Amino acid sequence: MPELRKDPISDRWVIFSPARSRRPSEYSRSGEAPLPESSDFAQGNEDRTPPEIYAIRPDGSDANTPGWQLRVVPNKFPAIMRDNPDVTSASPLFQRRPAIGAHEVVIETGDSDSSLADLSTAELAQVLRCFRDRIRALKAEGRFQYVQVFKNHGQNAGATIRHSHSQIMAFPDIPEEISREMQSASAHFSREGRCIFCDLLEAENQQEERLIAQNDLFQALSPFAARVSCETWILPRTHHSHFEGHSDEDLHLLADLLRIALVKINRVLGFPPYNLILHSAPLRQAALPDYHWHIEIIPRTSYLAGLEWSCGYYQNALMPEEAARQLREAAL
């Protein structure tokens, strides 16, 4: 069963989930992706996944049958589990606890040959509405504090299945990285009385050199301290702490900008693997004046090496101002 163990030196928690080693991979050791006869996630292979817990079926077809445009199923090889036997810490020095939570897979399309960037704005809006609806549903359960939505695209970004999909994980506590981000935002609010993300957007709009694209509600930019080439953030232009508070109309506009950002990244970097992550405020907290939800797109054009592992310093060979210029000028 999955469990969490705490490093007594760094205070870092690590998830151990041995069942994940049994995941099938559609990638060879060389990194090439041989085409399987048919993906488990493809239309018509519904019996190869756990029963769906959410689906978009315009023709009213039955659950777990063909006719869907998007499906959500429990992860067959979960890193965390809803019902997980308790584990006892051996000592205060060696702390461990069960890795409890929900782990879901969002199958974003029935077409095994389409990537997220290939979807239409309407199709991409369906994916974003699914994220919102699943966050709301997991929040309603009352047992989770945080929901993390993320996507691994390509083998070097951690994907083992080529068919376009993303993942949703719900945790009973707030992950360390989110806590650090929120503490930084809270400290800025205590000093300045304003949201740091709102201040960031105002400054970026004044300077303009790191802006990539925008519409009436959302803005895409290259962050000032981008960790990798063409790292891109998308934020609402007005203050919103919780992603799940947005309407269908809002998410349609977000889908349009997200599609533009992904297409431009593909043009500049040649269809790179990437991670996409959504950071939103914790479930049990009301609207926060100091936090601003956002999407981070992190192209995986290089590997973490000795400096990153030893010191935590990222190395980026492309200045964010130049990355933003290339992305702005990239054709759609």
φ and ψ of 81, to 5 deg: -130, 145
pLDDT confidence of residue 118 = 98
* Pairwise CA distance, residues 93 & 109, whole Å: 46
Long-range contacts at 149-154 (CB < 8 A, ≥ 24 apart) = 149/277, 149/278, 150/275, 150/276, 150/277, 150/278, 151/116, 151/274, 151/275, 151/276, 151/277, 152/273, 152/275, 153/115, 153/116, 153/273, 153/274, 153/275, 153/276, 154/272, 154/273, 154/274, 154/300
Separation of alpha carbons 67 and 57, rounded Å: 6
Identify the pLDDT of residue 174.
97
Q: What is the pLDDT of residue 22?
A: 75
> What are the catalytic residues?
165
- The mean pLDDT values, 10 residues at a time, for the chain of 332 residues are 93 90 65 61 96 96 98 96 81 91 98 96 99 99 98 94 97 96 98 98 98 99 98 99 98 99 98 98 96 98 92 96 99 91
CB 44 within 8 A of CB 65: no
Answer yes or no: are the C-beta atoms of 126 and 109 closer than 8 Å.
no
Annotated domain spans of the chain: 3-176, 180-329
Evaluate whether 3-176 and 180-329 have a shared fold: yes
CATH code for 180-329?
3.30.428.10
Q: At what angle do helices 196-207 and 176-192 cross, to 10 degrees?
A: 80
Q: Distance between CA 150 and CA 223 in Å, rounded?
A: 19
Partners of 16 in beta bridges: 3
Tell me yes or no: is domain 3-176 CATH 3.40.50.300.
no
